[in-house]
Amino acid sequence: MTTTLDPPGFLVLWDPTGFQRLAATDWAERRGGGRRFSAGPVEAFGFGGDAAPLAVWSGDETSGLFLGELHEPERLRAELAAVGVPAAADPAALIAAVYAAWGEGGFARLEGVFCTVLWDARTGTLVLYRDGSCAQSLYWYQVGEWAVAATRLDLLTTLPGVPKAVAPQGLHEYLRFLDISPPNCIYVGIRALEPGLPARFGGSDLSYPGPAPFPPGRARNRSGGSKTPPFEACVDALDAALQASVAARLNRDRPTGVFLSGGIDSALLCAIAAKIDRDAIDAFTLGFQGDAFDETPVASRIAESLGIRHHVIRYDLAVYADAFDDFLATVDLPFADPAGLPTLLLYRECRKTVDAVLDGTGADTLLGVMPARHTRIATQYAVMLPRPLRHAVAELLRQIPRLAGYAPMFDFETPEDFLIRWKGWSRPEIETLCDTPVTLAETRFFRLYRQFPRAAHFERYSALMGNLPDDRVHQAAASSDLRIRFPYWDRRVEELVHRLPRPARDTAVEPKRLLRALLALYVPRERWDLPKHGFDFPFVSLLRHEDDALVRRYLDHRVLARHRLIREAAIAPAVERFRAGDNGLAFRVWALVVLFGWLERHA
């Protein structure tokens, strides 16, 4: 079994009474904490030794902690110098200078993957921020007069005075979506900070004083102005912007990795990186057994065309089964993205060769995503019918073989159901499992859905996809000591693309039209223009491995009784049907296996 790394992190305690400080100091020393500062009611602890991503500073006006990395520090220093604020190039000095120059609003100027907590001695407040990619976690707990922020749940929940009980709302959200989005969390009383939005705390309540991004954490996906530039000019402009973004994220003195899945997003990053410096990159592709899941043939053709080093990594099912427990012990919170386990193994293998990798996450949101036609019909028109009438129409359609496939367009509880990524448990099913009323109205997904009119399919779906937690990437990166960099998550690239009219970016006939045209300038279309199925992992085969070993181990009645979260009698029929061969229940069973496996190691 691979030894799990203890990633760098920090914890910041707000305690005006001093009652918690002694306990927190003793706790931090026992955990090997150091690099701390004290200021006013604040006590801060850093963990991870001298690891480069963690920076701590203490000054007369501000003190703080920074975790992550910033891109293009020299460009930022030039912007600061232009407003008369000199700064050194290290992250701590830059964060302090940005805040001095522009306040918390200046954080939006920063390019990078990071989070920071800053004590402002002038106002007597804490300022908290994590970048909009969600790649760095930041959690918050408050009770009475004291509060605490931490970058990892295991830091927060082991601090004396912080309870470690599963939150019903977090559990319900997990069972429906197979992950949990900010501000909700798996534990009672703990909140995840909103990404891309500065927060302040002055002793009362945590607040977000600035205007929220639209959607939260992401740039707004909107159409450009009335003048439409020639399409070729749009392609050239994107090429220049992406070249600058990729160049800013490549290591200068050692190779940088690039994940190459065989899709357009990652292939374009490989192509641009190869143009900048072919010898400075290594491409990595994870292969799976079976043509339905394996993208290595396409990825290999792309890598060969670009002339870059290409590493194809494969594991058999036994390796995944052996690594499952380690995966659950590693991740900070439960999530059931089937690609989470292979992503962790891939990252650990990459780390043997490189310390940073370019990732194509963010391209879908950048260009925008139009949902399928049946989804558009259901969410715009079928939803207007009373629910009993919709169910009656669905039953009628099921009686007509030629029309039975249209029944799901009418047989749904809420329109949000059509846009949920994974096929988790439905809300009524969760009520049965947990034996309690369930509402999902205050989840991030449902709140964001309600911000759009019925007919705004493109804008709504793009926003929803852009606000998915992407836990598989962030959790695997933290536990493998691999830095993930997102060239599509770049202010210049976003501003350019969002000025363009939608037809230049995406059409019903040609999704990602802009990226496709640019990639064709680097790699012949016949090498990559094939149907794409995403980064799919055959998790059903893993569940069925060795006579459903994972199902038997983690859904055993003793495990269920130990945690007392779900009624065993309620899940028994679904588990029995799955074990009898009903793969339609695979996501539901997978969600339970991951949940209880995680609880066995973290509760």
* Sign of the CA dihedral with 517 first, then 520, 525, and 531 last: negative
Instruction: Encode pLDDT of 346-355 as tens digits.
Output: 999 999 999 9
What number of other Cβ atoms are within 10 A of residue 125's Cβ? 20
- Residue 52 confidence (pLDDT): 57
Instruction: Encode pLDDT of 300-335 as tens digits.
Output: 999 999 999 999 999 999 999 999 999 999 999 999
- Residue 216 confidence (pLDDT): 43
- Residue 2 confidence (pLDDT): 37
pTM for the structure as a whole? 0.93
* Sign of the CA dihedral with 494 first, then 496, 502, and 504 last: negative
Contact 308/279 with Cβ under 8 angstroms? no
Instruction: Encode pLDDT of 351-386 as tens digits.
Output: 999 999 999 999 988 998 899 999 999 999 999 999
Contact 256/78 with Cβ under 8 angstroms? no
- Assess whether pLDDT exceeds 80 at residue 170: yes
Euclidean distance between CA atoms 211 and 156, whole angstroms: 28
**Quick one: average pLDDT of 582-599?**
98
Enumerate the H helices of 500-580 as residue ranges. Answer: 502-505, 513-520, 539-554, 557-563, 568-579
Q: Of 13-17, 23-27, 38-42, 585-589, give the range with the top mean pLDDT.
A: 585-589
- Assess whether pLDDT exceeds 70 at residue 393: yes
CATH homologous superfamily of domain 9-201?
Aminohydrolase, N-terminal nucleophile (Ntn) domain (3.60.20.10)
Question: Chain-centre distance of CA 195, in angstroms?
Answer: 10
pLDDT band at 222 (very low <50, low <70, confident <90, very high): low
- What are the two backbone dihedrals, phi and then psi, of residue 41, each rounded to the nearest 5 degrees? -85, 5
**Residue 433, C-beta contacts closer than 8 angstroms, at least 6 positions apart:** 175, 425, 566, 567, 570, 571
- Residue 4 confidence (pLDDT): 42
What number of other Cβ atoms are within 10 A of residue 565's Cβ? 16
In this structure, whether the domain defined by 231-361+482-527 belongs to CATH 3.40.190.10 is answered with no
- Structural tokens at position 513: 């039209």
Instruction: Encode pLDDT of 49-79 as tens digits.
Output: 544 588 889 999 999 999 999 999 999 999 9
- For residue 112, the 8-state DSSP code is E
Asked if the bond preceding 487 is cis, omega within 30° of 0, the reply is no
Roughly how many angstroms between the first and final C-alpha of the chain, as a whole number?
21
SS3 content of the chain, % helix, strand, coil (to 5): 45, 15, 40
For the chain, the domains span 9-201, 231-361+482-527, 373-469, 538-603
| E strand spans, 105-168 | 112-120, 125-130, 139-143, 146-150
Strand partners, 166: 187
- Assess whether pLDDT exceeds 50 at residue 99: yes
Instruction: Encode pLDDT of 250-304 as tens digits.
Output: 998 899 999 998 899 999 999 999 999 999 999 999 998 776 678 899 999 999 9
Q: Is 497 helix (H, G, I), strand (E, B) or coil?
A: helix
**Residue 283, C-beta contacts closer than 8 angstroms, at least 6 positions apart:** 257, 258, 259, 260, 270, 299, 303, 308, 309, 310, 311
H helix and E strand count, the chain: 24, 16
Percent pLDDT > 90 in the chain is: 77
- Structural tokens at position 304: 């060969």
